Structure 1
Amino acid sequence: MAASSSSSVQAAKQALSDRLRELCRDAGLEGKQLAALCGWHPSKVSRISTGKTTPSADDIRAWCRACDREDQTADLIASLRAVEGMWVQWHRMERTGLRRAQESVVPLYERTTRFRSYSPNFVPGLLQTFQYTEDVLRAVQRRRVIVDDVADAVAVRMDRQRVLEDGHRRFAFLMEESVLGNGLGSAETQAEQLEHLLVVGALPNVSVGVIPARVERPRMPVEGFWIYDTVQVNVELVSGYLTLTQPSEVKAYADTFAELADIAVYGAGARTLIRRVRDSLG
């Protein structure tokens, strides 16, 4: 698994290594004895026990077998999969195309009632028009995905926008002013997208905030992220997709969102910025 500085990932890895170490201790085995039973070098047991190395599913099977606790194998492998799911590199997530990546978040969207999104680069997916989405995903596909299923991926993202129609859900979108004129697609595509922002932003359950380019900031710029209720944060990084569920980290992103929300403009102020960029497109 790719290394990540996220404390959520590190905490989950450490919890898994702790459980394996406990099995070894409860079985009355020393590290060297366990290594001999598994056919490993003793250093491998040490690295897994301390969390320096993430075990494979086969490693866990061998470990449990040596400790005579094969009844724990399935549960520990499930924990391993959870750790692996926290950090997913783009090439792994998108190896079969972009549609799968779009579909993977549908259950999360369906069970979430409060969405918060900060975007420093693009209009958030739930607010994108068809053509804007196609241009975004086409750019992604050309840069890093061999399989061309952009049309299917766009269809999934468009269908996902149905959640906006549910009046029981609440949506708060923050984006940098530079997002409004990032030059993505043709002038016609950009104008259509900006007009769509004006329409969607008028929905009673949707808040669209724009952070002016010239404004005093409480912190340095941060990466784009989504907060789902108060239980999960997803962050899109250059190399992969990070899922955070540790309460302290979810709170850190919620606090960051609140700080950014305080310097954004809404309502008439946001509409003025959007229209100004739209009109500049000619």
Structure 2
Amino acid sequence: MRLRQLRTSAGLTGRHLAEAASWPPSKISKLENGRQTPTDEDIRTWTELTGTEGETEALLASLHTLEVQHAEWRRLLSAGLRSHQDDLSGIDAKTRLFRVFEPTVIPGLLQTAEYARARFAETVTVFRVPGGVDDAVRARMQGQEQLYRAEKRFHFVLTEAALRYRLCAVDVMLAQLDRLVALSALRNVRLGVIGFATRYVVAPAHGFWLLDQDLVTVETFSAELNLAQPQEIQFYAGVFEQLAGVASYGGAARAIITRVIDDLAAEAGEAGA
């Protein structure tokens, strides 16, 4: 949008700008409509030809911020699973307040070793990255020491679906659910569960982590998004409050978890009969 504004303010048509830059005409449309990411040189050429060199540094800063925000998994995991876990642990160590919403998986800080192993094995399969599953699991378990530090606070909100999705073997999930019950008793951990019968105010579109008032992280299939703009953080804080407001806590949350445990245990018993 900003590139189009600079072009039109300079009185240039897309065809004239393309000719001046020796670009194919289609490139102007792609850059202006976000279908192609500009290079640093593209930005400099654009501002030079539109007489807006004073905008160059601001545009380059925005471009580089976007590159940091949108981190493709293949690039993040290129050094192996353990390396990325170490990076996350460094961020977690600095964070004092964690607000986490997960509609499909158990958050890493609450995972058992075997549940984490299943998640990492899936990552290796999907992205064909270097293995190192055992090292990654050890790093994640070490990172969970954060839960026992008195100066930190954790507020997790999960959906009942996250407790029931078949992302691992039944016995692994049963152990994972037992761990959730145990962790819900920690003084600095608040665990909420949104049951299937709950009427949502905000749809559980995707999971996200709010780290203090500094960062929101969102995981998509292809990338990790890191949002640090104040308006983004404020927006996600509001969404979190809406979701947390309809969750069950304490005994009511444990009752939902126990119901899922009973259903899974009955299923496992039938399968073994």
TM-score of the pair, normalised by structure 2: 0.78
Query: Does structure 2 retain, via aligned residues, the 8 Å contact 1:94–1:145?
Result: no
CA deviation string 1:216-260 (max 9, x = no partner): 111323101111112211111223211112222222211111111
> Are residues 1:124 and 2:107 paired?
yes
> Are residues 1:180 and 2:163 paired?
yes
Aligned partner of 1:160 among 127, 138, 143: 143
CA deviation string 1:181-214 (max 9, x = no partner): 2223222211211111111111110001000111
Query: Does structure 1 retain, via aligned residues, the 8 Å contact 2:97–2:154?
Result: yes
3-state SS of 2:125 partner: helix
State the distance in 2 between where 1:214 and 1:251 align: 28
> Are residues 1:90 and 2:73 paired?
yes
State the distance in 2 between where 1:139 and 1:181 align: 18
Match of 1:210 in 2: 193
* Correspondence 1:57-76 to 2 at 5 A: 57-59=40-42
Amino acid across the alignment from 2:179: H
Q: Which runs of 5+ in 2 are unaligned?
A: 50-54
RMSD: 3.5
Q: Which runs of 5+ in 1 are unaligned?
A: 1-13, 26-30, 67-71
Match of 1:5 in 2: none
Match of 2:257 in 1: 274
Match of 2:240 in 1: 257
Amino acid across the alignment from 1:230: Q
Match of 1:7 in 2: none
Match of 2:120 in 1: 137
Amino acid across the alignment from 1:173: F
Query: Does structure 2 retain, via aligned residues, the 8 Å contact 1:235–1:243?
Result: yes
CA deviation string 1:110-153 (max 9, x = no partner): 22111011111111110001111001111121122232122222
State the distance in 1 between where 2:125 and 2:25 align: 45
Aligned partner of 1:191 among 166, 170, 174: 174
3-state SS of 2:240 partner: helix
TM-score of the pair, normalised by structure 1: 0.76
Identity over aligned pairs, percent: 36
State the distance in 2 between where 1:131 and 1:74 align: 48
State the distance in 1 between where 2:181 and 2:32 align: 55
Deviates more, 1:45-54 or 1:83-92: 45-54
- Cα gap change, 1:104/1:215 in structure 2, threshold over 3 Å: closer, same or farther? same
- Cα gap change, 1:62/1:204 in structure 2, threshold over 3 Å: closer, same or farther? same
